[in-house]
């Protein structure tokens, strides 16, 4: 007769062996058998972590689709009340709230290089590396493109036009205005060297100015004044939805 100690010892060895076999897997990413998996994975649903099919939310996912018209935190100023297909309204109503200083235009040049040059080219002639591959990128110094104002450029950056995709989620309002400033430089002659022609100093520069003698102000005050709600710092009552007549289909 088998002694109790030997019997229990064999049982324990069999259990350990079975657990070892069950926990082994040819998949190197498999964790095997987890003891008390709730210690590793949260029982409550977490929006940014998906372990299994969610039987409560739609589509079986933990993260819910935001309600229509909501704006992400910190992005309120990214969208205005002008619909994406109303560039004419933007031309007539939007006004650049920033002065045409050398510092602002140079920052616009940096932003243009970062976000626009790959298509529009260094000189704004549509001969960027991408523009050469996918034809149809405009030349800023020809035709109607030569007279695009700040509001037009701002709106196209935000919503896109034709083959150009929208960049409103990537470029904040202040950056859009500064890119528009630099586009005016390229409209002159497709030459970045024309930057000084856009800057017009109207008063002596304070000695403590951070730009070390390069600050200036635009002489045309009409381009610095906001008209009604048409300004970068004002928002729609229903951001992201367009006007009521469009029923939110922007």
Confidence of residue 158 (pLDDT cuts 50, 70, 90): very high
pTM metric for this prediction? 0.56
- Please, are residues 88 and 151 in contact by the beta-carbon 8 Å criterion? no
Of residues 186 and 163, more confidently modeled: 186
Locate 77 and state its tokens. 């100023």
Mean pLDDT of 96-120: 92
Residue 218's φ and ψ, nearest 5 degrees, are -75, 140
48-71 pLDDT per residue, tens: 888 888 888 878 888 877 777 777
Of residues 27 and 107, more confidently modeled: 107
116-127 pLDDT per residue, tens: 999 999 999 999
Amino acid 200: pLDDT:
62
Q: Is the pLDDT of residue 112 over 60?
A: yes
169-220 pLDDT per residue, tens: 889 999 999 999 999 999 988 888 888 888 865 433 333 333 333 333 333 4
Domains and CATH numbers, the chain: 81-246 (1.10.760.10)
Mean pLDDT of 136-142: 89
Give the whole-angstrom CA distance, residue 179 versus residue 165.
16
Three-state SS at 161:
strand
Amino acid 20: pLDDT:
58
Mean pLDDT of 95-111: 91
Confidence of residue 149 (pLDDT cuts 50, 70, 90): very high
Least confident of 14-18, 90-94, 145-149, 166-170: 14-18
Amino acid 242: pLDDT:
45
Number of H helices, E strands in the chain: 8, 0
Confidence of residue 106 (pLDDT cuts 50, 70, 90): very high
- Please, are residues 105 and 182 in contact by the beta-carbon 8 Å criterion? yes
What does pLDDT average to over the chain? Answer: 75
Confidence of residue 24 (pLDDT cuts 50, 70, 90): low
Tokens 């100023």 map to which residue? 77
Three-state SS at 27:
coil
Of residues 221 and 72, more confidently modeled: 72
- Please, are residues 121 and 133 in contact by the beta-carbon 8 Å criterion? no
| Torsion angle of C-alpha atoms 86, 89, 93, 96, degrees rounded to 10 | 40
Locate 73 and state its tokens. 């935190």
Amino acid 248: pLDDT:
41
Using only the alpha carbons of the chain, give its radius of gyration. Answer: 30
Give the whole-angstrom CA distance, residue 166 versus residue 220.
29
- Please, are residues 140 and 190 in contact by the beta-carbon 8 Å criterion? yes
């Amino acid at each position: 007769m088998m002694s109790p100690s030997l019997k229990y010892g064999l049982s324990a060895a069999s259990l350990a062996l079975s657990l070892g076999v069950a926990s082994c897997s040819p998949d190197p990413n498999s964790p095997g058998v987890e003891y008390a998996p709730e210690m590793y994975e949260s029982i409550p649903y977490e929006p940014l972590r998906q372990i299994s099919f969610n039987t409560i939310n739609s589509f079986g996912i933990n993260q819910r689709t935001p309600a229509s018209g909501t704006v992400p935190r910190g992005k309120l100023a990214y969208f205005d009340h002008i619909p994406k297909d109303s560039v004419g309204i933007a031309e007539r109503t939007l006004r650049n709230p920033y002065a045409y200083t050398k510092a602002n235009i140079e920052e616009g040049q940096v932003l243009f290089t970062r976000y626009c040059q790959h298509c529009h080219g260094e000189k704004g002639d549509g001969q960027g590396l991408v523009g050469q591959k996918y034809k149809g990128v405009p030349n800023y110094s020809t035709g109607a493109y030569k007279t695009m104002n700040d509001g037009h450029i701002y709106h196209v950056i935000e919503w896109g036009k034709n083959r150009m995709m929208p960049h409103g989620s990537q470029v904040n309002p202040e950056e859009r205005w500064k890119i528009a400033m630099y586009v005016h430089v390229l409209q002159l002659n497709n030459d970045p060297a024309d930057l000084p022609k856009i800057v017009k100093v109207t008063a002596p520069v304070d000695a403590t100015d951070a730009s070390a003698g390069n600050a200036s102000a635009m002489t045309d005050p009409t381009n610095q004044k906001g008209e009604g709600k048409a300004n970068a710092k004002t928002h729609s009552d229903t951001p992201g939805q367009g006007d009521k007549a469009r029923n939110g289909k922007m």
